[in-house]
Amino acid sequence: MHKLTVSLSLIATSIILSSTAVAQQLDAVTIVAKVNAVDEGEYVSRKLLMTMTDKRGKSRQRDTISYRKYYADEKRTVLFYLQPKNVKGTGFLTYDYADKARDDDQWLYLPAMRKVRRISAADRGDYFLGTDLTYEDMKLEGKLEPADFVYSVIGQKQQQGKTLIQLAGVPHNQQIAVELGYSKVQSWVDSSNWIVVATQAWDLRGNLLKSITNSDIRRIDGIWTRHLIEVLNHKTGHQTVYQFSEVNYKTLVKDSLFRKNALSRGR
């Protein structure tokens, strides 16, 4: 029995060591590539409940449904507000082009105006509709952007049986830093599924700006999916919790949802 225990311990230790060794051997470029290669599905539909809470504890909720679909390298996303009634019917449509030099095309439908408005692609560092994630954060959907940051591996740790690799990202230049509003980021990547589980970002003065935690990560239709994202803005004390539900990668998402007409119809 004692021998068996020792053997199992040795096996477990060797697995952890080999996993650690693998993580140590991988360079940042490879890790970023693995994170960005995680399958997102060609299309997805999901409900998203956003709960925004200020530093005094006052909360607001936004109940939405969103759809995303890839057309080769072009990503189209549409978000409809379902509740409460004072924002119900608001719709936001984005065409995100693979060519980084080309600005996204965006449209906003405001029910009070009964009109779809063309809007300029927001500055990447602007906050998305009053939440604590920026337009760029939303667009990346947990991916990493090597065109903006130089990444390096700065550590790793074991957590609940998983190896988490710590990456540090520094903007390529000051212009990118100003655009994004970040002087530095650090992310923890789960080496078992290559999902980013936590990120911290520092503002241009080097102060900790926000902490992002991704949890309730599970496979849906075979695809690793984050169901809970918690973002705390350390500067304002404001936080946003994003809860995803009814995630569906299998049911075909209609092309007609990504047209201006769908915005005004709310579906």
Partner 1 sequence: MSVLFFNSMILCVLLPSGLVQAELSSSLQQQWAFNTSTGDSQKMATVLQVEFNTPLAEESYFTVISEFKYDFQKHLATAQERPPSYSSVNGPSWENGKAQLTVQELYLDSSWQQLQLRLGKQQLVWGEADGLKVLDKVNPSRFSEFILEDFDQSRIATWMLNAQWEVDDSSSLQLLWIPDSSYHEMPRAGSEYSFSSAATVPVPAPGVQLQLRRAAKPDHWLTDSELGVKYTAFKNGWDISLNYLYHYRDFAVLYRQQQGSKLVISPEYQRSHLIGGSLSNTFAGVTLRAEIGLDTASFFLRSDLIDSGITKSAELSSLIGLDWQGGDNRVSGQWLLSNILDYNSQIIRDQYEHTLSLSYQRDFANQTISFSTLALHSPTNNDGLIRPKLSYNLRSGFDLWLGADVFYGSKSGLYGQFKDRDRIYTGFEWSF
- Choose which of 123, 141, 216, 221 interacts with partner 1 (CB under 8 A): 123
Length in residues, the chain: 267
With binding defined as CB under 8 A, does residue 260 bind partner 1? yes
* Contact call for residue 114 and partner 1 (CB under 8 A): yes
- In 3-state terms, what secondary structure has residue 261? helix
Task: Tell me the number of residues near partner 1 by CB under 8 A.
Answer: 40
Residue 233, Cβ neighbours under 10 Å: how many?
A: 20
Q: What's the min distance (Å) between Cβ of 19 and partner 1?
A: 41
**Is residue 76 within 8 Å of residue 262, measured between CB atoms?**
no
Nearest to 212 by CA among 242, 253, 190: 242
Shortest distance in whole angstroms from residue 88 CB to partner 1: 6
List binders of partner 1 among 64-83 (CB under 8 A).
83
The label of the residue with tokens 């679909």 reads: 69
Of 240, 250, 189, 229, which is closest to residue 23 (Cα–Cα)? 189
Is residue 84 near partner 1 by the rule CB under 8 A? yes
Q: Is 103 an interacting residue with respect to partner 1 (CB under 8 A)?
A: yes
The identity of residue 211, as a single letter, is S
What is the Cα–Cα distance from 134 to 201, expressed in whole angstroms?
A: 12
String of contacts with partner 1 for each residue 144-163, x by CB under 8 A: --------------------
Q: How far is it, in rounded angstroms, from Cα 21 to Cα 13? A: 12
Q: Is 105 in the site for partner 1 (CB under 8 A)?
A: yes
Segment near partner 1 (CB under 8 A); pick from 31-39, 53-61, 156-164, 172-180:
53-61
Phi, psi of 228 (to 5 degrees): -140, 125
Q: 240 and 84 in contact (C-beta within 8 Å)? A: no
Buried b / exposed e across 76-106, counting CB within 10 Å, b at 16+? Answer: bbbbbbbeeeebebbbbbbbbeeeeeeebeb
Told to check if 179 binds partner 1 by CB under 8 A, we report: no
Nearer to partner 1, 105 or 230 (CB): 105
* Distance of closest approach, residue 87 Cβ to partner 1, in angstroms: 8
* Interface region with partner 1, contact rule CB under 8 A, candidates 112-120, 152-160, 187-195, 222-230: 112-120
Query: In the window 2-21, what residues touch partner 1 (CB under 8 A)?
Result: none
Let me know: does 249 contact 67? Beta carbons within 8 Å.
Answer: no
Please identify which residue in 112, 205, 206, 219 interacts with partner 1, judged by CB under 8 A: 112
8 Å CB contact between 28 and 152: yes
When binding is defined by CB under 8 A, the residue of 113, 147, 160, 219 that contacts partner 1 is 113
131 binds partner 1 (CB under 8 A): yes
Q: Based on the shown chain and the rule CB under 8 A, indicate whether residue 100 belongs to the binding site for partner 1.
A: no
Which residues form the interface with partner 1 (CB under 8 A)? 52, 54, 58-61, 83-86, 88, 103, 105, 111-115, 117-123, 126-127, 129-132, 236, 238, 255-256, 259-261, 265, 267
